[in-house]
Structures are given as C-alpha cells and as structure tokens.
Structure 1
Amino acid sequence: MKERVFFEEFESLYYFHGGSENWAMQGFHFHNQYEIILFLTDGALMEIGNRTYHAKSGDLFLINNKEYHRTSGGADKTYHRYVLMFEPELLLHLEEAFHYDFTMFFEKRPDPFLHRLHLGGTNFEKVEKLFEKIEQNIHSENKGSIETSVRIKLSILELIVSVNEMYQFFMEKEKSKTLLDYEAKCETQEFKDPVLYRERIEQLKKYIASHVEERLDLHEISRKFYMNRYYLSHYFKKETGFTLTQYVSNQKIIAAKALLKEGHSVTDVALRLSYNSDSHFIAVFKKMTGITPKKYAQSKKSKKE
C-alpha cells in the first residue's frame, strides 16, 4: 500500500498553540515553510522522512521545507504543542544584514542529523517564553501595522538564534560520541539495510536537488549511480517511504513554486524544469497542489500587493 503524500498550502506565517485529541495526519505532507514544533505533552508520534520519533514533553523539532513528515497523537489522548511555520525568505533576507547563518540547522546540517532536541529546565522555559513572545506579537491589537510585523520577525529571529545555540551546545557535548550512538539510544526505528545503501540514497537525494531542472529519468539515474533500477527503486522506497518518481515530482513542484513566486511564466517554468510541455506541467502541478500554476502565481502576486 502506497503512502499518501500531499503538498499543503499555508500562509507565509503560521502559528498554533493548543491541543488536539485523537488526531493523525492522513498521509505525509510537505510545504513551503520551515517548521518548528515544541511538544508540551508526551505520546505523539513524529515521522520525518525515514525517521520515527516518539515525542515527549520538551522535545523540539526542526523541519525544513523539503522534508516529508506527519504527526499523530495517541488514542484518546490530547497532545499539546507550539507550532511555528515561516517561509525561508524571512531568514535568508536577513542573513547578510546580520552576518549570521540563521538557517544552519535547517539547511547546512551535520550528517547524520537528529531533528529532535530535548529541552529541559531553563532551556525549556526560555524557548517557551520565546514562543509566547511571538504569540503576543501575532495577536497584538496593532496587527497588520509595520511595527508589529517588525516585532514578529525580530521575535522569530530571537527564537532561531536561541535554538541554534542549544543545538551547537548539544553538538559539542556529544563530540566524544557519535550522533548515531545517541540516536540508537533515543530512537526506536532500526535501520536494517546496509549502510552503503543508506549513503547511496542520501547521495541520490542530493543529486536530485542539484539536478532538479533536468528530466531525471529512472533509467539514467540508476546508470549514474551504477545500481540496478529495480534495486534502486526498492531501497529508495524502503529508506524514504516514497517512490523515486514521487520524490522527483515533489522536488520539481517545490522548485516550480519558487520560480513562479519569482515571476517566471508558466511556459518558462515548464521549459526550465524539463517538462514535456506546458500542458503536462499544468496537469502535474494541479494534481499535486490543487490549483493551476497560473492561479498559484496570481495568488502570490496579490499577497505582495
């Protein structure tokens, strides 16, 4: 049975603080935004790509906009959390001004990388207060004003810097041990396939990201990686939960959305991402997002205005 994977549209800034009971996503989803989740209760199951985490109170997760993920709560149990989602541009536009790499644990991650950072004591209190500060700014009486918008962005940057510092401290603390040793203690998921295949799959994902504008035919990819295409398909699905075709299609749609937001025409995007034709691109885009690329571009343009 194939896992359902879908793209979900959110506002450029999304914030949630509350609880959900008997809630589970129907399939893996991905979106344009980076996401930070802080769990306040035990019992939720967090699945990110091929990793499975049993979340506990104080667990903080960082998820980038290329990772498929889903969350589910325990039966007959309410789980509470903070959720903050924002588009990468919020950080990227300010990195040069501040001379600081805000996206270091969203993009330039160590290998291997654990999405989960457990916070306790003063660290938990500090991060929760920073979430509350963001919440106060979002629900300000002057919502919509330039001043409030600036305060929201600054409070998000403050949260990011604090979380980055905590991750860096964790990395130093674990220097004498490998992250894989730590992961073995924390995670229930077992990797039963040879390390060689896991490394190949990671290389393959990086290859797709850097060659997303090409046609990326399964036969050509298998030849490039000197792997039988049937074995390649089998291990890619086993390692990621998605077929190689699904993964390539979704990465192309992520790239297409970015190009459309920049003002490129539908024809230009279809040509640039090596679709067979405009109509083929439009059909795939609509199937995966629910709207045509033209309507998507118009919606983004109207929000800017």
Structure 2
Amino acid sequence: MKERVFFEEFESLYYFHGSTQNWSMQGFHFHNQYEIILFLSDGALLEIGDRVYHVMKGDLFFVNNREYHRTSGAEGQEYNRYVLMFEPELLEPMTKAFGYDFTMFFENRGDDFVHKLYLEGENLKRVERLLARIETNIGSGSSDEASVKIRLSILELITAINEMYKFFTKEKHTAADQEERKLKGDEEKFRDPILYRERVEQIKKYIATHVEEKLDLDEIAGKFYMNRYYLSHYFKKETGFAVLQYVTNQKIIAAKALLKKGTSVTDVALKLSYNSDSHFISVFKKSTGITPKKYAQNKKNNNV
C-alpha cells in the first residue's frame, strides 16, 4: 500500500501547547518550517522517513523542512505536547550576527544523527519554561518589540537545546573509523542497513545543495559510484520515494520560496533548470494543485 504524502502550509511561525485524544495523521507530511516537538505524555508514535520512534514523556525531537514525518497518539490516551515551527529564514541572519550555528541540529548533522533528545528533571523544566516564554511573547501583540522578543526567546531555546544535545550525545564512531568504513565499502556491504542509511542521507544532502541543477538518475548514481538499480532500490527503501520524485519535491520547495520573494514564473523555471515555463507550471500544478502564478498571488494577498 502506497503511503500518502502531502505538503502542508503553515504560518511562518506556528506554536501549539495542549493535548488531543485518539489523534493520528492520515499520511506523511512536510512543510517549509523547522519543527521542535516536546512530548509530555507516553505512548505516541513519531515516524520520520523510515525511522520509527516510540515516544516517552520528555522526548524532544528536531525535524527539518525536508523530512517527511507523521505522528499519532496512543489510542484512548491524551496526546500532550509542545510544537514550535518556524522558517529557516528566522535563523540565518542570527547565525551571521552572533557567529553561532543555530541550525546545527537541523542541517549540519552527522551520519549517525538521532532526532530524539530525552529530557527529565531540571532539563525538562528548563525547556518547558523557555517554551512558555515563547508562548507569552507570541501573545504579547504584533509590535516591533514583541517580534524581537519572540526571536530572542526562540534563539535562547535553540541554544539551550543545542547545549544539552551536545552534552548527552556521544559519537558512536571516530572520524578514522568512519573513513575506514567508507574505504572498505562496496555494493555488497552497502546492503547493511547502517551503511545504506548513511549513503542515502548523503544523497539527500547532495540533492538539496544541487536543487537548482537538472538532476537525473544517472548523474546522481555516478556521483556516488552506484549503479541505477542500487540507487533506486535503497533510496526508495530508506525514504519511501523514488529518487526523481524526491528531486521534484525539493524543487517545488525551492520554487515556493522563490515565488514568495516575488521571483517571476519564468525566472523560477530557469533557475531550477526546467525545460520550459510550461514544463515547470505542469509539474508545480501536479504537485500542489494550483499554478505557480496563483500560488504567488495568494502569498502576495496574504501579506498585504
């Protein structure tokens, strides 16, 4: 049975604190925002790609804006959590201003990255206090001062979480061990779940950083010294998507960002290496249900 995947629109800043019962997403979704989730009850299930996390109270998760995921609550139980979502653009200028990588656990991840950080005791209370401060600042109005307070409180939360994550997370392999494994790797050894997961993560990062290029299966396979069969098989096994389907999804995310900035449809098509305007419009409409021009108009009207 093929899993349903959908792109979901949210405000640039989204915050939720509360509980629901017998709640479950109907399929995997992804969105433009980074997401931080803190669970305050046991029993929920969080799936990110093909990774499945059985949630306990105090589990905190990082999800970036390219990861397909879904959550479901335990049947008959309250599903209590904090959810904070914000667009990457909020962090980028702050990273330059402070000389500190606020995105380190959203972007610059090691191959053995685990999305989950377990908190208890004072650490859990600290993160809850910081989230509550964000909630207070969000509710304080829409003035310039309120906007500054919101951004600063989010930066304080991320800094605290980064500090905790670095403290509690130990590297499973030394850099030398990882290099040796790469040198010894071949197609037969690549079948090991850990090895193909690492390779697929590298391929996903390559697609993200080369999204403006005209990517095809042979070019990607050659880049990673794999044949088409292994690339297609293991990428689909790890992500649930065909390679070119994943490429298309990443291009649509990039296209939306450009359209929101006011880039013309023709320039977006050119920048993302589509064969023509009509080809881009067709792909965009098939993926989103509306034309790129209509999407840009909707965004412009909402910002008025």
TM-score by length of 2: 0.88
- AA partner of residue 161 (structure 1): T
**In 1, are the aligned partners of 2:111 and 2:198 still within 8 Å (CA)?**
no
Indicate whether 1:234 and 2:233 are aligned.
yes
State the partner residue of 1:256.
255
State the partner residue of 1:186.
none
State the partner residue of 1:126.
126
CA distance in 1, matches of 2:71, 2:17: 15
CA distance in 1, matches of 2:191, 2:47: 18
Q: Superposition pairs for residues 1-305 of structure 1, below 5 Å? A: 1-140=1-140, 143-171=141-169, 174-175=170-171, 178=173, 193-305=192-304
Of structures 1 and 2, the one scoring higher in RCO (CA 8 A, sep 6+) is 1
Alpha-carbon spacing, 1:178–1:43, altered in 2? closer, same or farther (3 Å): farther
Residues 226-265 of structure 1 deviation map (CA, whole Å, 9 limit, x = unaligned): 4332332121111112221221111111111222233321
Alpha-carbon spacing, 1:100–1:222, altered in 2? closer, same or farther (3 Å): closer
CA distance in 2, matches of 1:218, 1:96: 35
- AA partner of residue 47 (structure 1): E
Quote how far apart the aligned CAs of 1:92 are: 0.8
Specify every segment of 5 or more residues in structure 2 that has no aligned partner in the other structure, as ranges.
Answer: 175-189
**In 2, are the aligned partners of 1:12 and 1:86 still within 8 Å (CA)?**
yes
**In 2, are the aligned partners of 1:24 and 1:73 still within 8 Å (CA)?**
yes
CA distance in 2, matches of 1:197, 1:101: 28
Does 106-115 or 209-218 show the bigger shift?
A: 209-218
Residues 163-205 of structure 1 deviation map (CA, whole Å, 9 limit, x = unaligned): 111112113xx25x559xxxxxxxxxxx974544333322322
- AA partner of residue 144 (structure 2): I
Residues 6-32 of structure 1 deviation map (CA, whole Å, 9 limit, x = unaligned): 111100000111112111111111111
- AA partner of residue 4 (structure 2): R
- AA partner of residue 259 (structure 2): L
Alpha-carbon spacing, 1:249–1:21, altered in 2? closer, same or farther (3 Å): same
- AA partner of residue 26 (structure 2): Q
TM-score by length of 1: 0.88
Quote how far apart the aligned CAs of 1:48 are: 1.0
Quote how far apart the aligned CAs of 1:156 are: 1.0
Question: Does the residue aligned with 2:11 lie in a helix, a strand or coil?
Answer: coil
Does 69-78 or 37-46 show the bigger shift?
A: 69-78
Alpha-carbon spacing, 1:225–1:99, altered in 2? closer, same or farther (3 Å): closer
Alpha-carbon spacing, 1:195–1:283, altered in 2? closer, same or farther (3 Å): same
Q: Aligned pairs, how many?
A: 289
Question: Does the residue aligned with 2:91 lie in a helix, a strand or coil?
Answer: helix
Alpha-carbon spacing, 1:60–1:196, altered in 2? closer, same or farther (3 Å): closer
**In 2, are the aligned partners of 1:3 and 1:242 still within 8 Å (CA)?**
no
- AA partner of residue 56 (structure 1): M
- AA partner of residue 156 (structure 1): I
State the partner residue of 2:177.
none
Between the two proteins, what is the percent identity of the paired residues?
72
Tell me the C-alpha RMSD between the 2 structures. 2.1
**In 2, are the aligned partners of 1:47 and 1:71 still within 8 Å (CA)?**
yes
